[in-house]
């Protein structure tokens, strides 16, 4: 008889195979403007094992289906899932995956991209940004609406950029003006400040719906981080208005990029992978919990 543990393991494996075997999107040829490669990127993505629907390997495949050249996995308070996604993508020749984290404090959220170790959340924004930079990463203010501005007051001069486009603009009346105003404050400091469009993907069909166009020398993590620090980004909002480096925005407006495929719904592979992954992990967690209770009961009897 097949054990429950084996069934759960098989479901986890099927989660990966579902996306891999059904994935048929050919690689997109590189696009260049102004002598630089233009990458479509999403720097705020959550994965399964935290509060995202898809496991890291399926995020890689879904990102490729949606025309993303690079993305960051930014779970709350952990980076191991991002490292798993990076490992998988490198082995299949998928999009560039950057290791990241959403640092979630009481009064601010911060996207760290290009780090290798989790950054403590219970510290002022200035100290969190300092730690991100110490690891060689980039610090981006996550959905900085007005309520979070006081937390960034002393930190804004050390931020590398902010989200100027985020799904909350569609659900919050103050979302669009709040994000735009914070970004303009960052730009006014007289130093590079990257405009970032992020999906804050958790589940559903939003991966890459809000994206950042990054102008890089090559599609490698170090080059992407360097471009973010230099503010070489452009974001088109929901009305088609460009935000970011004015010269690069003008370049894309005069010579637009080809239309991209953005499915309105989660694709069949991603649904299959998500369902199998959740069932498999739930089974393993329940089995572990059951075994722990049995162990406690046995100890009590002895």
Residue boundaries of the structural domains of the chain: 27-259
- CATH 3.20.20.140, applies to 27-259: yes
> pLDDT of 198-253, one tens digit each?
999 998 658 999 999 999 999 999 999 999 999 999 999 888 999 999 999 999 99
The string of DSSP codes covering the chain is ---HHHHHHHHHHHHHHHHHHH--PPPPPP-EETTEEEEEEEEEE--TTTT-SS-HHHHHHHHHHTT-SEEEE--BT--HHHHHHHHHHHHHT--EEEEEEEEE-SS-EEEEES-SSPPPSSS-HHHHHHHHHHTT-EEEE-S--GGGHHHHTTTTTT--EEEEE-GGGGT-TTHHHHHHHHHHHHHTTSS--EEEE---B-STT-TTTS-EEEEESSSSHHHHHHHHHTT-EEEE-TTS-EEE-HHHHHHHHHSPPPP----SS--HHHHHHHHHHHHHHHHHHHHHHHHHHHHHHHHHH-
Average pLDDT, the chain: 85
Q: Which class for 290: exposed (0-12), middle (13-18), buried (19 or more C-beta within 10 A)? A: exposed
Residue 1 has pLDDT above 70, yes or no: no
| 24, pLDDT greater than 80 | no
Give me the pLDDT at residue 7, please.
Answer: 52
Q: Which of 4-8, 38-42, 228-232 has the lowest mean pLDDT?
A: 4-8
Q: Is the pLDDT of residue 285 over 80?
A: no
In this structure, of 94-98, 99-103, 298-302, the range with the lowest mean pLDDT score is 298-302
Two tokens, residue 54: 């898809």
Q: What is the pLDDT of residue 175?
A: 80
pLDDT band at 154 (very low <50, low <70, confident <90, very high): very high
Query: Looking at residue 295, what is its pLDDT?
Result: 53
Based on its alpha-carbon atoms, the radius of gyration of the chain, rounded to whole angstroms, reads 20
Amino acid 238: pLDDT? 82
At 69, list the tokens. Answer: 């050249």
Residue 46: pLDDT above 90?
yes
């Amino acid at each position: 008889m097949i054990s429950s543990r084996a069934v759960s393991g098989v479901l986890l494996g099927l989660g990966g195979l579902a996306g891999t075997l059904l994935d048929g999107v050919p690689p997109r040829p590189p696009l260049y403007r102004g002598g630089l490669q233009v990458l479509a990127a999403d720097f705020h993505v959550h994965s399964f094992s935290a509060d995202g629907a898809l496991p890291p390997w399926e995020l890689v495949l879904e990102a490729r289906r949606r025309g993303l050249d690079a993305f960051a996995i930014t779970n709350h308070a952990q980076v191991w899932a991002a490292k798993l996604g990076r490992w998988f993508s490198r082995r299949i020749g998928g999009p560039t995956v950057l290791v990241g984290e959403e640092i979630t404090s009481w009064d601010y959220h911060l996207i760290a991209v290009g780090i290798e170790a989790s950054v403590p959340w219970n510290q002022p924004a200035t100290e969190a940004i300092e730690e991100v930079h110490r690891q060689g990463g980039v610090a981006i203010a996550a959905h900085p609406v007005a309520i979070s501005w006081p937390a960034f007051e002393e930190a804004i001069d050390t931020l590398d950029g902010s989200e100027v486009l985020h799904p909350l603009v569609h659900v919050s009346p103050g979302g669009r003006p709040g994000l735009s105003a914070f970004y303009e404050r960052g730009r006014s400091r007289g130093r590079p400040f990257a405009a970032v469009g992020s999906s804050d993907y958790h589940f559903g069909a939003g991966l890459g719906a809000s994206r950042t166009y990054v102008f890089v020398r090559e599609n490698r993590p170090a080059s992407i981080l360097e471009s973010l620090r230099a503010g070489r980004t452009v974001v088109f909002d929901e009305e088609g208005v460009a935000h970011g480096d004015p010269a690069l925005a003008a370049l894309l407006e005069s010579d637009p990029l080809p239309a991209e495929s953005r499915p309105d719904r989660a694709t069949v592979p991603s649904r299959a992978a998500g369902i199998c992954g959740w069932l498999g992990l739930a089974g393993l967690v329940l089995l572990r919990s059951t075994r722990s209770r049995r162990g406690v009961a046995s100890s009590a009897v002895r």
